[in-house]
Amino acid sequence: MPIPKDILAYNAAQSPGDKRICDALCRAIGRGLPGAECKIWHRHPVWFLEGNPIVGYSKLKGCVRLLFWSGQSFDEPGLAPEGSFKAAEARYTDAAEIDAADLERWLAKAAEIQWDYKNIVKRKGRLERLK
């Protein structure tokens, strides 16, 4: 699936070092989740399976954050809990920090282990496990 122009524009708008990180993450996510829909969502690149947000990245002050919405359930080193739901993150300051084997494994788990964020508002903030 080709990368949408708005995601390419997001990556291009970053500093050269952050662009390398974003481009590497974008390519890896595209390979790891080939059937996923991707778009800019809340101003950041996000990939969805059946309307459910799975993974995305965003530029933070001093790093690029890779976020897995259901990542706390992966039980994986290298991912830190983020927020009050089930999300987990990895932060990068250089593209060389991205471990391809870890990222491939995390993406495989992201496709298998999902919490239903798509319906979180309808369920008044309560998450249910999918799959």
> Tens digits of per-residue pLDDT, 15-28?
999 999 999 999 99
What is d(CA 120, CA 68) in angstroms, rounded to the nearest whole number? 16
> Tens digits of per-residue pLDDT, 53-64?
999 999 999 999
Beta carbons of 42 and 27 less than 8 angstroms apart: no
- Strands 63-68 and 44-49, by their bridges, are unpaired
Q: What is the pTM of this model?
A: 0.92
Listed residue (58, 119, 61) closest to 89, CA to CA: 58
Q: Which amino acid is at 11?
A: N
List the chain domain ranges. Answer: 5-130
> Tens digits of per-residue pLDDT, 101-117?
999 999 999 999 997 77
CATH of 5-130, one of 3.90.1150.200, 3.40.50.920, 3.50.50.100, 3.40.50.2300: 3.90.1150.200
